Structure 1
Amino acid sequence: MKPTHIADRRAREELSRLLERFARRRRPIRVVKKSEYWHQRAAGAALWAVTFGGQNKYLTHYVTTLGHTIYVPDDFDGWEPTRALEILRHEAVHVAQFERYGWVVMVLFYGVLPLPMGLAWFRARFEWEAYEETLRAVAEIEGLAAARAPALRAEIVRRFTGPDYGWMWPFPRTVERWIDEALVRIEGELARKAPSTPSADTL
C-alpha cells in the first residue's frame, strides 16, 4: 500500500485533472450539491419510505448521477481527495451509461426492471460496472492491497445486498465472484502498465 501522504498528493492532482476533463467535455459534467435540488430531497424522502427507514442517508452520505449531473452531499468539498476521486470515477461510469443507453432505458432498467426492489438485475449490473471502476481507482491510487482489503469487499457486498440500493441483488456469493474476477483483471492491467525492470546485463 502506498504511504498515505503520497496517495493523497497523487489523488489531489488526479482529482483536479478529472474535474478539468469534466468541464472540457462537449457535454460538460456538473458536480452540484444534492440538497439544493427539490427532486433529490424528494427522492431521499421516497427512499426512506420504501426501505422502511433503511436508506436514511441519501442526502448526506450518497452521490447520485442523473444524465450529466453528479449530485453530491453538502460536505463533499471537505472530503479527502482520495475518497472524492474514487467516487467521481465511479460516477463517471454512470454518466457514460446515460450517454450509451439514454434516459428512458436508464430509468426503466435501473429503477424498475425486472423488479424495483429485491431482485433488480439491471440495476446490479449497472452498479457493478461502476464498482469495478471503484476497485480500479483504489488500486491505482492506494495500491492493489487496498483494493483487496476485506473491509472494502464487505462494504461492496453490503451495498449490493442491503437497503442502500433497495436490496438490488441478494446473492452475496455472486458479488464476491464479481469482485474476484475484477481484481484479477485490474491486477493484470497494473502489471501491463508497470515499467519493466532492466535486466542485469543492461545496467
Structure 2
Amino acid sequence: MKAIDTREARLRLDTYIEELARRPHPVRIVRKGGCWHQRCAAAGLKLVTFGGQRTYLTHYVTTLGRTIYVPDDFDTWSPTRAWQILRHELVHVAQFERYGWGLMILLYGVLPLPLGLSWFRARFEMEAYAETLRAVAESEGMDVARSIELREEIVRRFTGPDYAWMWPFPGMVRRWIAEALARIEREGVAVKAEPSA
C-alpha cells in the first residue's frame, strides 16, 4: 500500500493531532521508547509469541486509555499512513471510554483465551480495522481499500503473532473485510477521487 504524500496530507495529519489534543478528554501521543511499561510489554510479547512479535516498539502503535503510544520514529512516517493509524487508534480510545480500563484489559488481553482464540480482542480489532479501511478509502481511494495487499496484511495480523494469533480463521477475516468494505460503499464515504486520465 503506497500513499502519495502531499502538503495536504501533512496538513490533514497535523490538524487531526491538534483535534485529538483539543477533545474534552484530550488524547495524548507518546513515544514508546521512553516508557518503561512499553519496554516491558515488548519483552513480554516477544516471550509469549516465541519470538514472533519482535517489533512491538519499532513498528506498532498501542492505545491505553486516552494515550496513544507510537514508535520513536513516528514523525518520519508518511503523513497518510500516520493519519490512517491514528484513526484506527481513536477507535481503541473510544473502546476504553466505553468499557473502562479494567473491563477493556480483561476482554482484550485475557478472555476467552489470551492466545489463539481471543474473541473479544478480534472484535475490538475488527471495529478498529473497519475505521482503517474507511480512512484508506478516504485518503487513497476504494481501489486501495479493496486491494489484495491490504486485505492479506490485515488477515496476517489477525491470524499471526502480531496479535498473538487472536483469530486463527483467515476465511472469516476475509469475509468480515468484504462486509466492512460493502458497508463503507453503502454509507457513501467521501472517498479520494481517482485521478482522471
TM tier relative to shorter chain: over 0.9
Name the residue aligned to 1:4.
4
Q: 1: CA distance between counterparts of 2:152 and 2:132?
A: 14
Name the residue aligned to 1:77.
75
Q: 2: CA distance between counterparts of 1:11 and 1:95?
A: 23
Name the residue aligned to 2:123.
125
Name the residue aligned to 1:153.
151
1:53-92 equivalent positions in 2, closer than 5 A: 53-92=51-90
Name the residue aligned to 1:183.
181
Q: Note if contact 1:160-1:170 (Cα within 8 Å) is conserved in structure 2.
A: yes
Letter in 2 for 1:34: K
Q: 1: CA distance between counterparts of 2:155 and 2:185?
A: 20
State which drifts further: 110-119 or 16-25: 16-25
TM-score (normalizing by structure 1): 0.90
Letter in 1 for 2:60: Y
Question: 1:14: Cα distance to partner?
Answer: 1.9
Q: Deviations over 1:133-167 (max 9, x none)?
A: 00000000000001001000000000000000000
Moved over 4 A (4+): none
Q: 2: CA distance between counterparts of 1:120 and 1:42?
A: 22
Rg larger in 1 or in 2?
Answer: 1
Name the residue aligned to 1:169.
167
Letter in 2 for 1:82: T
**How many equivalent residue pairs?**
190
Letter in 1 for 2:63: T
Name the residue aligned to 2:194.
none
1:31 aligns with 2:16: no
Name the residue aligned to 1:200.
none
Q: 1: CA distance between counterparts of 2:93 and 2:159?
A: 23
Question: 1:16: Cα distance to partner?
Answer: 1.7
Paired residue for 2:49, among 51, 75, 81? 51
RMSD: 1.5
Letter in 2 for 1:74: D
Question: 1:4: Cα distance to partner?
Answer: 2.5
Question: 1:190: Cα distance to partner?
Answer: 2.8
Q: Deviations over 1:93-112 (max 9, x none)?
A: 00000001100111000000
- Identical-pair percentage: 68
Q: Note if contact 1:28-1:68 (Cα within 8 Å) is conserved in structure 2.
A: yes
Q: 2: CA distance between counterparts of 1:93 and 1:153?
A: 19
Name the residue aligned to 1:197.
none
Question: 1:9: Cα distance to partner?
Answer: 3.6
Q: 2: CA distance between counterparts of 1:12 and 1:135?
A: 20
